[in-house]
Structure 1
Amino acid sequence: MTMTDLPNPRLLSLRDAVARRDKLRTEGKQVVLTNGCFDLLHTGHVYFLSEAAKLGTALFIALNGDASVQALKGSTRPVQNATERAYLLGQLNFVDTLITFGTPRLTAEIKALKPDVYAKAGDYTLETLNLEERSALEAAGAQIRFLPYLEGYSTTSLIAKINAAAQTF
């Protein structure tokens, strides 16, 4: 079996995600949107995502595409490609829908999805959110929530630990 054989029914196109969002809205359900690279899924990610899911009925994750991750994090990233990252996120029972995006900003996806709530980890503030994205969220009427940041857990620190461990072999 190869990675392309693994099913990921939660990974949708933006068009299908919007249709899913519309269906949920007609059912009176609240959609929470978050986004990120989620390069090496770790405790901090799972903690944040599980807390974000509690803010509504359905958690939508917009996953940075590979080129976007590389532009943000450098030439050695992502460690795992978007298909692999989406598969792992899709295995979390509190994740409803996944989309990938390849642009530097999530503005178009926010405008299309019109989330009820937008969640980011507490290492962000209203002032540090991208102004375009913030404007799109405000126009959509989304509540912007910052959740506690679990100190000491990041992909960068995980990579550093792995590199340190590898030097001992």
Structure 2
Amino acid sequence: MNDFSMLPPAGQNFWFIPMEEVALFRRFLKGKRVVVTNGCFDLFHVGHLTLLNEAKKLGDFLWVGINGDQSVRELKGDNRPFFPAWERAAIVGSLKGIDAVTIFTEKRATRFLSLVKPAVYVKGADYTSQSLDQEEKEVLNSCQALIKFIPLYPDRSTSSTVERIRKGSLMAEQNK
């Protein structure tokens, strides 16, 4: 199943906004300080949690864009994502501070950002103003979004977690 129909109604305390409804939904948020972040959110970890909690403090409404499965493969390689987009969206959306989640299929969040028009855009400090995608940055500049980089939680990333898991499985094999 590739949608939220598997989730019990009580498990969904956020708005799931399909891309084709983003612009319409955004109109209902007039006057609110909308904060946006986006990413793969594959193998959710405390670094993701820290980023989202800090992002929530920056505005009234936290909207998270989730990379679709094909875009994760394009960004991270053929072995990713570990979980389909709808599961990653459900996990992120289940957090108390998340107000809305949208899955976008493109490699970059450019179209998503252009429709949401955030007041604040948040990324982890593994990004810099120079390393942000140029097209995304142009969209953010056009809507006059404040761009904030949140310090990373030490030694926590999906890549480092995968590496620790792989090393652990290698150690388990060696100990047989």
TM-score, normalised to structure 2, is 0.88
**Residue identity opposite 1:5 in structure 2:** M
Matches within 5 A, 1:4-153: 4-7=5-8, 8=12, 9-25=14-30, 28-153=31-156
Gapped runs of 5+ residues in structure 1? none
Distance 2:163 2:16 in 1: 30
Most deviating of 147-156 and 37-46: 147-156
- Per the TM alignment, residue 4 of structure 1 is displaced from its structure 2 partner at its CA by 4.1
Are the equivalent residues in 1 in contact too, given 2:22–2:115 (CA < 8 A)? no
Distance 1:17 1:136 in 2: 16
* Partner SS, residue 83 of structure 1: helix
Distance 1:166 1:127 in 2: 37
TM-score, normalised to structure 1, is 0.91
Alignment size in residue pairs: 167
Question: After the TM superposition, which segments of 4 or more aligned residues of structure 1 sit over 6 Å from their partners?
Answer: none
Distance 2:20 2:107 in 1: 19
Distance 1:149 1:161 in 2: 18
1:35-72 superposed Cα distances (whole Å, 9 cap, x missing partner)? 10000110000001110111101110110000000111
- Per the TM alignment, residue 133 of structure 1 is displaced from its structure 2 partner at its CA by 0.6
**Residue identity opposite 2:158 in structure 1:** T
**Residue identity opposite 1:134 in structure 2:** K
